[in-house]
Amino acid sequence: MTQAVIGACCLITRVNNNISREVKEAQILRKNNQPLTSKHYRRLKRYDVMKIGDTQKLTESGAGENDDSNIRYYCKTEELSDVLETTHVNVGHKRTRGKRHCFVCD
């Protein structure tokens, strides 16, 4: 199984948590056939919440429907450094290239 970060957008933790809560609320309302507001429809159209491991991630709605390699998720600002480092290692970037140095490695 390969892991790839195809696309990640960074959100402030408070905003990420707020949107995740609103998406879950809208999903529950839809499941129970209760009326949805226009904000609920917007959240469901744009976002989804996926459980990945032990954590729940805010993802782009419809992402990964056809294949799991195209999942786009929203990371929290605290996770950005880890996402960049993982991506950097996965692409096989060398520590130095000629006289240029990699800004992530240094």
pLDDT tens digit sequence for 33-72? 999 999 999 999 999 998 878 888 888 887 556 565 677 8
What pTM was computed for the model? 0.65
Domain-embedded: residue 68: yes
Question: 3-17, 43-57, 87-101 — which is least confidently predicted?
Answer: 87-101
Domain-embedded: residue 85: no
Domain-embedded: residue 57: yes
* Residue ranges with strand state E in 1-106: 7-11, 47-52, 55-60, 72-76, 96-97, 100-101
Contacts of 27 (CB under 8 A, 6+ apart): 44, 49
Q: Residue 21: which pLDDT band, with cuts at 50, 70 and 90?
A: very high
Domain-embedded: residue 86: no
DSSP string, 39-66: HHHHHHHHEEEEEETTEEEEEETTTTSS
Domain-embedded: residue 51: yes
Domain-embedded: residue 38: yes
**What is the extent of the structural domain holding 35?**
7-78
pLDDT of 69: 63
| Distance between CA atoms of residues 1 and 64, nearest Å | 15
Q: Is the pLDDT of residue 26 over 90?
A: yes
Domain-embedded: residue 31: yes
Q: Structural domain tally of the chain?
A: 1
